[in-house]
Amino acid sequence: MDNLLVILRRPPYGVVNAAEAIRHAGGAKTFDYGPKLFLIDSGVCLAKKGQNTGDSGFTNLGENLDLLSGEMEIYADEESLKEYRINPEDLVEGVKVVNKEALRQALRESQSVMIF
């Protein structure tokens, strides 16, 4: 099985990057890839519980991430969480907080990488 690493560096709303990262990671699972989703920079905001998109017209992507956490490994960069003042307890279930070495390891193990 090939491993796909999807890296999300952009915020969850205002641009399509987060939605596309989730779509590609979820789709890879259906094609027998071993996807991993790594959230870094403002991408860590995607993993915050209780997102309220209000009447913005955006789909609550945090709920989609919660559904995917049982299907694949999802990581959030601890330095980025500190930068955006998000506590690990405030993340959706199944997201693992890791350091940059985990990203380096995932890059070494992956046959394909997509960056959003």
- Is pLDDT above 80 for 62? no
CA dihedral 52, 44, 97, 36 (to 10 degrees): 110
How many C-beta atoms surround the C-beta of residue 95 within 10 A? 24
- Is pLDDT above 90 for 59? no
What top-level class would CATH report for the domain 3-115? alpha beta
- Write out the two tokens for 15: 């641009």
Better-scored residue on pLDDT, 96 or 30: 96
- Let me know: does 34 contact 1? Beta carbons within 8 Å: yes
pLDDT at residue 1 in the model: 67
Query: In the chain, what's the furthest Cα-to-Cα distance?
Result: 41
Percentage of the chain lying above the pLDDT 70 cut: 92
pLDDT at residue 67 in the model: 67
- Is pLDDT above 70 for 7? yes
pLDDT at residue 72 in the model: 87
